Amino acid sequence: MIPIDIRPDKLTQEMLDYTRKLGKGMENLLNADKIDTGVSPKQAVYKEDKLVLYRYDTPAGVTPRPVPLLVIYALVNRPYMTDIQEDRSTIKGLLATGQDVYLIDWGYPDGADRCLTLDDYLNGYVDRCVDFICESHGLDQINILGICQGGVFSLMYTSMHQDKVKNLVTMVTPVDFQTPGNLLSSWVQAMDIDLAVDTMGNVPGELLNWTFLSLKPFALAGQKYVNMVDVLEDADKVKNFLRMEKWIFDSPDQAGETFRQFSKDFYQKNGLINGGVVIGDYEIDLKNLTCPLLNVFALQDHLVPPAASQAMKALVGSTDYTENPFPGGHIGIYVSGKAQKEVTPSIGKWLNDRS
Amino acid sequence: MNEDSFFSNDWMETQRKYWESWIAMNRKAMGLEGGSQTAPWESALEHWWSAVSPAAPAASKQFMERMMEQGKSFFKMAETFLPTAGGGGDGWSAFSKALEDMQKGFMGGLGGSGDDKNAMHRMLAFWELPLDNWQRMTSSMSPMFPGDFLRNMPHDGMQDQVDRLLSAPGLGYTREEQGAYQDLIRRSIDYQKALQEYSAFYSKLGVKAVERMRAYMQDLISSGKTIDSARAIYDDWVNCCEAVYAEEVSTPAYAQLHGKLINSQMALKARMSEMVDGQLGALNMPTRTEIRTLQDRLQETRRENKKLSHGLKVLQAQVQALASGQPLAPGARVKTHNVPRAALIAGPADSKAAAPKKPAAKPTTK
């Protein structure tokens, strides 16, 4: 006996269903409106080069808390992931808890931005955004929420400017870049980063896309589209799928000098663990970070394994350190229904208890 | 005819007619109880697509083609493993033969020359995905060379001649130029080798994935379970492939392979850029090297400018506070205690010079 029991007539029916769904799907694809990116109303309050600092409108009936929250997103991909659709929005959830939310949109670096360094990003752009918000609110300190690479930025920023940060939240943020099973880190070890950056200048988003797809190539570049056929008949699900698809491939190029330092200092040298990371005039030491710290990570994260985030606990100087593990993946922590109910409200509560 | 009416009328009608005739033909060929012939599932799907795609709107076509490719993959899988595909005999023999055929296909990509070397690429479209991803990425980065132009270039047979050519010293007035071209060819060959090693790695993975699939099927037999749809067998195949892939790409050997692929491509691109720069210089046009020098100098100037502007603002605030006898307002306080000494000497490390003069816009919904 063999374990396959597929009858030809059943296979015919399966194929018929498949093509029927494709046919219907084509109609839905054509009728899908332009894919919107970011759903919550916001205002641009500060601009510098390609950076735009947004402030989100507080929903009616909500009184904003006195200490605003600055969201620092990664340079990789675009920050509208945090506000991807009406019923899947981290930003919306934060606003609902009374946070006065600001977000940095880094824009799309081009050749002229090639020589931007981590010092330019952190002690330049981020620091000026923080100063701007402090001045606007008449405060000395604000809350910061860093996401993924933006979480690493926020850790480093706080270690350099602890006096400006009241509370820090990190989401899916790597600290130990060389935990077992970290494929990205393993692959970068034999790469000649200097040669790559010297050759390309900025690092193309396509190269990053290829790298991320290579983590699970058969599922991410193949099976996903077969699964997509199952939802093609539902216009709303098609639109949601297309929105995610847009986000996945909407990858800005990376400023060459920043990519050089980030890849070498963190992926190759594991600098937050081993030390030796120098940003401008500062040597980064997470012991300088003494404010309350909430570390949110995803238990099924294939990009930032939980252990990579949890390494933070032993390194920071904070005595008020809380971990919030979420049973989901790197993206699910923002877009899943469960995350809307659990993650965002818990972040809001944690901040409200301390602001 | 607008697109709406196309979908509501012609499109569905085309599909309906096509499927009616196709199912009738197929049932006739196989019999309602199940046929004894191999069903042309993959080509049938292709036939369907070729019948309807010319009329499909361009906006959706590319997206749909991607799903068609995967659809063909999983119907091909089902076709391969149909109990009747072996042309008679007992079911297990047919099933084993299907696995062996897949394995042979992958192994064909490991050795030999010419067409044999590309056997992997003719195998299941599914296994093209990682390489296809690489190809798309290189295409987008190299407008000069659509696709990966070195992917199938034979090199073993001509290795001796190439080595001799490359070892010949350049002579005369164009000596440097000859050397540059020799280096370009050398780097091209390095990249080509790296790419073919990378391809061969996937061939080996394919063989291992087939083994994994065989073991999975054995487990199913032991547990008395069966697979009863094309989709299920496709999903199982994906799981086997991903499991084998995850094991293999986490090894130091793969890290070296991956590094070699990227490093050799970068080395090639670097040499090409140098040569393009040389040509631009000869035409008295700006080169990339010159532009980068300007970018570096400009960025350095901007940094200094922002530091100076901020330093000025600090001084103004301090003078104002001194004059009024009041401490600085919260938020306008300028941090100096945590600024590194070097930065204080050179000027404050941060700057607010680019901040707009107006305060933050107040949302109207508040």
pLDDT in tens, A326-346: 999 998 998 888 999 999 999
Number of domains in chain B: 3
Whether residue B306 is found in the same domain as residue B262: no
Give the closest of A7, A15, A217 to B245, CB-based.
A217
- Percent of chain B, pLDDT > 70? 47
Q: How far is B212 from chain A (nearest CA, A)?
A: 15
Q: Which amino acid is at A265?
A: D
Q: Would you call B41 and A226 a contact, using CB atoms and an 8 Å cutoff?
A: no
Model pLDDT for residues A95-121, shown as the tens digit of each residue: 999 999 999 999 999 999 999 999 999
Q: Are residues B84 and B196 in the same domain?
A: no
Q: Are A23 and A84 in contact (CB under 8 A)?
A: no
A residues 268-307 closer than 8 Å to B (CB) = 280-282
Average pLDDT, chain A: 92
Closest residue by Cα to residue B53 from A26, A225, A103? A26
Q: A219 φ, ψ to 5°? A: -80, -45
Q: B292 with B276, same domain?
A: no
**pLDDT band with cut points at 50, 70 and 90 for residue B365:** very low
Q: How far apart are CA B12 and CA A23, in angstroms?
A: 8
How many domains are there within chain A? Answer: 1
pLDDT surpassing 60 at residue A93? yes
Q: Do residues B141 and B205 share a domain?
A: yes
Same domain, residue pair B58 and B14: yes
The C-alpha of B181 sits at a distance from chain A's nearest C-alpha, in angstroms, of: 18
Q: Where are the alpha helices (DSSP H) in chain A?
A: 8-31, 90-96, 118-119, 127-137, 149-160, 183-188, 193-200, 205-213, 217-218, 224-231, 235-249, 256-262, 271-274, 306-310, 312-315, 332-335, 337-352
Asked whether residue B56 falls in the same domain as residue B123, the answer is no
Which of the given ranges, A214-228, B20-34, B37-51, B56-70, has the highest pLDDT on average? A214-228
Residue A206 located in a structural domain: no
Does the CB of A63 have a partner CB in chain B at under 8 Å?
Answer: no
Whole domain around residue A71: which residue ranges? 42-188+277-352
Instruction: Quickly count: other Cβ atoms within 10 Å of residue B182's Cβ.
Output: 17
Longest dimension (CA), chain A: 77
Question: Burial of B197 by CB count in 10 Å (0-12 exposed, 13-18 middle, 19+ buried)?
Answer: middle
- Looking up residue A146, the CATH number of its domain turns out to be 3.40.50.1820
The answer to the question of residue A23 being in a domain is no
Residues B266 and B300 in one domain: no
**Residue A210: inside a domain, yes or no?**
no
SS3 B258: helix
Query: In degrees rounded to 5, what are phi and psi of residue A258?
Result: -70, -40
CA distance linking residue B99 with residue A329, whole number of Å: 34
- Cα dist. A13→A267, B78, B127 in Å? 50, 13, 26
The answer to whether position A217 is within a domain reads no
Pairing of β A51-56 and β A42-48:
antiparallel
Same domain, B14 and B151: no
Average pLDDT over residues B47-70: 68
Averaged pLDDT for residues A194-209: 92
Q: Is B335 on the interface with A (CB under 8 A)?
A: yes
Q: With a cut of 50, say whether residue B353 has pLDDT above it.
A: no
Is B96 part of any domain? Answer: no
Q: Check residue A321 and give its pLDDT.
A: 98
What span, in angstroms and rounded, lies between the C-alpha atoms of A261 and A245? 29
Q: What's residue B217's pLDDT?
A: 85
Does residue B177 share a domain with residue B57? Answer: no
- The answer on B208 and B273 residing in a single domain is yes
Spell out which residues of chain A touch residue B222, defining contact as CB-CB under 8 Å.
none
Is residue A125 a part of any domain in this protein?
A: yes
Beta bridge partners of A47: A52
Distance of CA A93 to the CA centre of its chain: 16
How far is Cα A268 from Cα A12, in angstroms, rounded to an integer? 52
pLDDT in tens, B39-49: 456 666 677 67
Q: What is the pLDDT of residues B105-152, one digit of tens each?
A: 665 544 444 443 343 343 344 445 555 566 666 655 554 444 444 444
pLDDT value of position B340: 42
Mind listing the pLDDT tens digit for each residue in B185-203?
Answer: 889 899 989 988 988 888 7
Query: How big is the CA angle at A283 (ends A277 and A289), to the nearest 5 degrees?
Result: 100
Confidence of residue B354 (pLDDT cuts 50, 70, 90): very low
Let me know if residue A84 belongs to a domain.
Answer: yes
- The answer to whether B340 contacts A30, with C-beta atoms less than 8 Å apart, is no
Per CB-CB distance under 8 Å, the chain B contacts of A142 are: none
Place of tokens 């306008």: B332
Residue of A52, A33, A77, A82 lying closest to A235 (CA atoms): A33
Chain A closest-CA separation from residue B91 CA (Å): 6
Q: What is the pLDDT of residue A327?
A: 95
Instruction: Assess whether B227 and B306 both reside in one domain.
Output: no
Q: Which of B70, B78, B56, B49 is nearest to B10 (CA)?
A: B56
Instruction: Look at residue B272 and give its three-state secondary structure.
Output: helix
Residue B98, in any domain of the structure: no
From the number of C-beta atoms within 10 Å of its C-beta (0-12, 13-18, 19+), residue B36 rates as: exposed
Residues B190 and B65 in one domain: no
Give the pTM. Answer: 0.79
Which amino acid makes up residue B294?
L
Domain enclosing residue B325, as ranges: 288-329+339-346
- Cβ burial of A184 (10 Å; 0-12, 13-18, 19+) is middle
Let me know if residue A342 belongs to a domain: yes
Classify residue A221: in a domain, yes or no. no
